[in-house]
C-alpha cells in the first residue's frame, strides 16, 4: 500500500485510539475497586463465551506505561479511555476512593508527558453492582448517582482532561442489557429497558451540567446510530424499518438534538409504553447543549418484518417491536459476522446532519474490525483485512466531510485486542495483538499502517 492510498483530511483533524476500562484493565479487585455488573454477569454460567471474565483482561492497570508508549509510537493526537465507576465509588455512591482515582491520575499524566490529549468516557458499561442491586438504570436514582460520580471524576482530572464523553452507546446499556439480556445485567424485561433508556439520557444531561459546572472544555456523548436498511421494498419491511428507527436511533437522537421524544413512539411501542418514568423538565436536562456528538460505526443493519416474539398481548413487553435484524451476506464479513460496507458510513453521517440540522460537530468515537489474525512464523500479524477496513472507512469519513459533514476527529477501535463483552477474548479488534497467556503486546501491520497514515496527514497539512 502506498501513500496514495491514504485518505485525506482537513488541517486540524485529529486521530486517536479508543479502549474501555472493563475490556482492558483487569485488576478487578485492586485498590478498593468494587464489583461491577460485568463482574457479576461474567460469573453467571453461559453468559460469556468460554466463561471468560475481565478479571485480568490486558492487565492494562499494571501495564499502562507500556500501553501509553504504544500510543506514543502510533503518533495519535488523543487517547479515548473510560473511567471505571466501581474504582471511583466501589459502592456506587459516597466519597471517592482516592486509590481508584489515582490510577487515572497517573494515566493522564503519562499521556500528557508524551503529548497525547486524554479523552475520558465516564460510563462504558461497568455499573457498580451495588447500584444494580438498587434497581440499576431502571430507576432514576442511578441517573443522580451518575452525576455525582461525574463530579468526583472531573474534580480530580478536570484540570488535565479536556474532552469528556458521558455515556458510551446507551442503546446497548438499555436494550442489550435490560431488554434482551445479552449484556450485563442480563435482564429481559421489555419495559424496564424503556425506563433505562430514559434514565440514561437524564443521567447524561445531569452529568453534562456537572461537567460544565466544573469548567470542562469539550463535552459530548458517544452514540451508535444505526444505518437501517429494509430487507426488501415490501411495505411490511419498510414499516419494520420505521419501528426500528425509533428503537435504534430516535430514542436517543430526538431528545438529545431535537428537543422531543420520538415522534413515532406510540406506533412503535403501542399502548404499553406509559412513559410514567418521565418528569416535567427532563427534556431540558437531556437537551443540554453539547460540543460534539460521538459516533461509533461498524456496519449497517438489515431489517425484516417479523412476528412478535411473544404472541400473547397480555405478556408482551414494550420493546417487542416485531422486527428482525439480519446482516447482508453479499459482502465480506468480519469475524463478528458484520458486513463490511464503508459507503454506508458516509450515508449514515450525511443522513444524520440532514435529519438533525442542529447536530453539533461529529467525532468518530469508534470504528474498527475484528479479524481472524494469525501470528506468522516470523512473529508478525499481517492483518491486511483490517488495514483495508480502516483505509476504506477512513475514506468514507473523508467523503462525508467533502459532502459537508463537520467531522473533527477519528478514534480507531481499538488500541489492543481485549475483552469483547459476550464474545470474551475470541474476537480481536486491536491494532496491537495481546497474547493472553503472556500478556505480551505485538503491534500488527494495521498499527504501522495507521501510524504512517497519521504521519502522512501531518506532513501534508503542516504548513
Helix axes 191-213, 140-157, angle to 10 degrees: 30
DSSP letters for 445-462: HHHHHHHHHHHHHHHHH-
Min dist. Cβ of residue 173 to ligand FCB (A): 10
Shortest separation between residue 20's beta carbon and ligand FCB, angstroms: 5
Minimum gap (Å) between residue 368 Cβ and ligand FCB: 7
Tell me whether residue 135 or residue 181 sits nearer to ligand FCB (CB atom): 181
Sign of the dihedral defined by the CA atoms of residues 171, 174, 176, 179, in that order: negative
Nearest distance in Å: CB 414, ligand FCB: 7
φ, ψ dihedrals at 302, nearest 5°: -95, 130
Residue 287 corresponds to which cell in the numbers above? 437537551
Residue 413 three-state SS: strand
Strand pairing of 323-326 and 432-434?
unpaired
Which of residues 14 and 421 has its CB atom nearest to ligand FCB in the complex? 421
Which residue number, 265 or 420, has a Cβ lying nearer to ligand FCB? 420
What residue ranges bind ligand FCB (CB under 6 A)? Answer: 20, 23, 168-169, 172, 224, 296, 366, 413, 420-421, 429
Distance CA(91)–CA(95), nearest Å, equals 10
d(C-alpha 61, C-alpha 327), whole Å:
36
Residue 441 neighbours by CB distance under 10 Å: 20
Q: What DSSP letter does each residue of 255-294 carry, written as one string?
A: HHHSSSS-TTHHHHHGGG---TT--TTHHHHHT---SEEE
Q: How many CA atoms lie within 13 A of 94 on its CB side?
A: 12
* Nearest-angstrom CA–CA distance, 51 and 33: 22
State the catalytic residues: 169, 366
Residue 420 Cβ, how far from ligand FCB at the closest point, in Å? 5
Comparison of 203 and 368: residue with beta carbon closer to ligand FCB:
368
Question: b/e string for 197-222 if b means 16 or more Cβ within 10 A?
Answer: bbbbbbbbbbbbebbeebebebbbbb
| Comparison of 93 and 335: residue with beta carbon closer to ligand FCB | 335
C-alpha distance across the termini of the chain, in Å: 25
Residue 145 in grid coordinates: 448517582
Q: Are the CB atoms for 100 and 31 separated by under 8 Å?
A: yes
Q: With contact defined as beta carbons under 8 Å apart, do 60 and 84 qualify?
A: no
Nearer to ligand FCB, 296 or 302 (CB): 296
CB of residue 421 vs ligand FCB: minimum separation in angstroms?
6
The least distance separating ligand FCB from the CB of residue 174, rounded to whole angstroms, comes to 13
Residue 38: other Cβ atoms inside 10 A: 27
CB closer to ligand FCB out of 53 and 168: 168
Task: CB nearer to ligand FCB: give 20 or 187.
Answer: 20
Those residues with Cβ within 8 angstroms of residue 101's Cβ, 6 or more apart along the chain or in another chain = 87, 88, 152, 153, 156, 157
CB-based contact 417:428 (threshold 8 Å): yes
Please state the closest distance from residue 462 (CB atom) to ligand FCB, in A.
Answer: 32
Amino acid at each position: 500500500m502506498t501513500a496514495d492510498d491514504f485518505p485525506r483530511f482537513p488541517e486540524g483533524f485529529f486521530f486517536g485510539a479508543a479502549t474501555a476500562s472493563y475490556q482492558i484493565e483487569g485488576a478487578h479487585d485492586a485498590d478498593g475497586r468494587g464489583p461491577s455488573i460485568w463482574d457479576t454477569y461474567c460469573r453467571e454460567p453461559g453468559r460469556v463465551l468460554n466463561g471468560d471474565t475481565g478479571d485480568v483482561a490486558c492487565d492494562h492497570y499494571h501495564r499502562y506505561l507500556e500501553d501509553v508508549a504504544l500510543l506514543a509510537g502510533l503518533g495519535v493526537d488523543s487517547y479515548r479511555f473510560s473511567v471505571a465507576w466501581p474504582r471511583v465509588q466501589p459502592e456506587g455512591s459516597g466519597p471517592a476512593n482516592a486509590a481508584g482515582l489515582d490510577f487515572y491520575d497517573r494515566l493522564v499524566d503519562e499521556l500528557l508527558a508524551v503529548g497525547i490529549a486524554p479523552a475520558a468516557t465516564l460510563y462504558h458499561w461497568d455499573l457498580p453492582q451495588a447500584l444494580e442491586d438498587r434497581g440499576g438504570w431502571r430507576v432514576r436514582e442511578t441517573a443522580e448517582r451518575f452525576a455525582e460520580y461525574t463530579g468526583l471524576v472531573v474534580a480530580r482530572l478536570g484540570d488535565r482532561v479536556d474532552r469528556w464523553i458521558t455515556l458510551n452507546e446507551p442503546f446497548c446499556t438499555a436494550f442489550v442489557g435490560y431488554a434482551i439480556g445479552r449484556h450485563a445485567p442480563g435482564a429481559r424485561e421489555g419495559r424496564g429497558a424503556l425506563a433505562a433508556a430514559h434514565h440514561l439520557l437524564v443521567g447524561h444531561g445531569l452529568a453534562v451540567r456537572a461537567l460544565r459546572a466544573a469548567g470542562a472544555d469539550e463535552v459530548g456523548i458517544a452514540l451508535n446510530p444505526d444505518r437501517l436498511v429494509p430487507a426488501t421494498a415490501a411495505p411490511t419491511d419498510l414499516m419494520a424499518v420505521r419501528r426500528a428507527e425509533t428503537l435504534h436511533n430516535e430514542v436517543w437522537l430526538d431528545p438529545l438534538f431535537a428537543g422531543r421524544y420520538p415522534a413515532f413512539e406510540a406506533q412503535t411501542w403501542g399502548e404499553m409504553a406509559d412513559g410514567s418514568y418521565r418528569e416535567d423538565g427532563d427534556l431540558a436536562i437531556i437537551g443540554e447543549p453539547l460540543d460534539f456528538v460521538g459516533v461509533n460505526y461498524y456496519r449497517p443493519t438489515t431489517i425484516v418484518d417479523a412476528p412478535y416474539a411473544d404472541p400473547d398481548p397480555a405478556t408482551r413487553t414494550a420493546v417487542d417491536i416485531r422486527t428482525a435484524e439480519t446482516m447482508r451476506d453479499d459482502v465480506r464479513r468480519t469475524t463478528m459476522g458484520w458486513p463490511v460496507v464503508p459507503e454506508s458510513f458516509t450515508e449514515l453521517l450525511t443522513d444524520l446532519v440532514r435529519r438533525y440540522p442542529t447536530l453539533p460537530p461529529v467525532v468518530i468515537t469508534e470504528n474498527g474490525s475484528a479479524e481472524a489474525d494469525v501470528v506468522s512464523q516470523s512473529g508478525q500479524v499481517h492483518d491486511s483485512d483490517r488495514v483495508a477496513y480502516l483505509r476504506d472507512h477512513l475514506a468514507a469519513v473523508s467523503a462525508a466531510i467533502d459532502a459537508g459533514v463537520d467531522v473533527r476527529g477519528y478514534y480507531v477501535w481499538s488500541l489492543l485486542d481485549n475483552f469483547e463483552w459476550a464474545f470474551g477474548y475470541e474476537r480481536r479488534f486491536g491494532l496491537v495483538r495481546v497474547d493472553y497467556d503472556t500478556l505480551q503486546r505485538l503491534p500488527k501491520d494495521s498499527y504501522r499502517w495507521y501510524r504512517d497514515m497519521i504521519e502522512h496527514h501531518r506532513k501534508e497539512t503542516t504548513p
